[in-house]
Amino acid sequence: MGSRIVATGRALPRTAVSNQELQRFMDTSDEWIKSRTGIGTRYTLRSGESLAEIATAASRTAIDRAGIKATDLDAIIVGTVSSEYTFPSFACQIQTQLGVDSIPAFDVAAACSGFVYALSVADTSMRAGDFRRVLVVGADALSTFVDWTDRRTAVLFGDGAGAAVLVSEPGTRGVLASLLRSSGRHWELLSCRATGVRGTLDSEVRRESEDAIKMKGPELFKIAVKSMEEVCRQVAKRAGIELDDVSLVVGHQANRRIINAVAERLGVAFEKVFINVDRYGNTSAASVPIALDEAIEQGRVHDGDLVMLNACGGGLTWGANLLRW
């Protein structure tokens, strides 16, 4: 018995922020941001908005499209590092907003790799026979943790949520293999001391302090490319498939140059690579499920296709899932 994604959904904060708007209060330019990252705009969470409500909206879309009720779920697993509170978990907040009770609901903290990690955990539990229907969510609001005076990080991040419903079923479709990796010794390349998005938003603290996201961009760039290439090769090997047979790569949307460099090193044609970083920026754990949801909507995913998901983020963490659609 394996697991298969039967439906997805996505939701975003109300406010879109263009590069031109950033230019008004930051020493940056649309040309610099686009040429170094591929990002044109991103959505940012504002005071009065709730990331839990946004993640619940993405979840409801996935649940409706799956043709089930929230009460049919056996578990909720959320990849996030932006829980509104230090505790309860973000998954418990989504659970109560969905009107579900008693089933296990928990978070997986793997920064930008959160969805890839959560999907792997869900698949493994379903193979073990623990659950039959699982909601897997990726949701983050890293814009609430950036130091808006640090142009090296502030332009990169956006907020949002994506969700997928997995059902257990026999057969050859679904999650073929996953691989997760971490390297704690590189934690200082990307870190954030602050916790609890609710406190950050409501106190309207400008994150100019030690609490804000700290990143060593150029070092991270090199490791991200190398580790995502390696994990994609390894997961393909584990699943017993050739990379040439992959129909679509839906990777973490951190930077167009990173996505293209990984594809080039893997020898995957650019037309097989899904990119939407231009419209969302780096939404951390939300980026893979938002991209997958858009790829499906755009007719880029067909029955029988091999779809590669991959991500890399703070921890460092990285990983990949190979799916037969």
Ligand X SMILES: CC(C)(COP(=O)(O)OP(=O)(O)OC[C@H]1O[C@@H](n2cnc3c(N)ncnc32)[C@H](O)[C@@H]1OP(=O)(O)O)[C@@H](O)C(=O)NCCC(=O)NCCS
Residues carrying an active site annotation: 112, 252, 282
Q: Does 221 bind ligand X (CB under 6 A)?
A: yes
Segment 251 to 290, residues that bind ligand X, using CB under 6 A: 254-255, 258, 282
- CB 37 to ligand X: min, Å: 5
Q: Per CB under 6 A, which region of 122-130, 150-158, 170-178, 271-279 contacts ligand X?
A: 150-158
3-state secondary structure of 187: helix
- CB 263 to ligand X: min, Å: 15
Q: Does 224 bind ligand X (CB under 6 A)?
A: yes
Mask for 188-217, x = binds ligand X (CB under 6 A): --x------------------------x-x
The span from the CA of 139 to the CA of 162, in Å, is 6
Which of 198/216 has CB closer to ligand X?
216
Which of 254/268 has CB closer to ligand X?
254
Contacts of 203 (CB under 8 A, 6+ apart): none
Would you say 263 and 249 are in contact if contact means Cβ atoms under 8 Å apart? Answer: yes
Which of 59/113 has CB closer to ligand X?
113
Report the relative pairing of strands 2-11 and 159-169 from DSSP bridges: antiparallel
The span from the CA of 254 to the CA of 310, in Å, is 11
Q: Does 291 bind ligand X (CB under 6 A)?
A: no
Which of 125/143 has CB closer to ligand X?
143
* Residue with the CB atom nearest ligand X in the bound state: 217
Tokens standing for 253?
């949307």
Q: Does 100 bind ligand X (CB under 6 A)?
A: no
If you write DSSP's letter for every residue of 163-207 in order, what string do you get? EEEEEEE-SS-EEEEEEEEE-GGGGGGEE-----HHHHHHHT---
Which of 61/153 has CB closer to ligand X?
153
- CB 257 to ligand X: min, Å: 7
Which of 34/60 has CB closer to ligand X?
34
Rule CB under 6 A: choose which of 63, 100, 220, 296 binds ligand X. 220
Would you say 147 and 154 are in contact if contact means Cβ atoms under 8 Å apart? Answer: yes
- Number of separate helices (H) and strands (E) present in the chain: 11, 13
Mask for 3-42, x = binds ligand X (CB under 6 A): -------------------------x---xx--xx-----
The span from the CA of 242 to the CA of 37, in Å, is 29
Q: List phi, psi (to 5°) of 78.
A: -120, 120
The span from the CA of 31 to the CA of 33, in Å, is 6
Of 191, 262, 180, 183, which Cα lies nearest the Cα of 221?
Answer: 262
Amino acid, res. 194: A
Mark 199-213 as b/e (b = at least 16 C-beta within 10 Å). ebbeeeeebeeeebb
- CB 194 to ligand X: min, Å: 17
Binding residues (CB under 6 A) for ligand X: these are 28, 32-33, 36-37, 112, 151-152, 155, 190, 215, 217-218, 220-221, 224, 254-255, 258, 282, 312-313
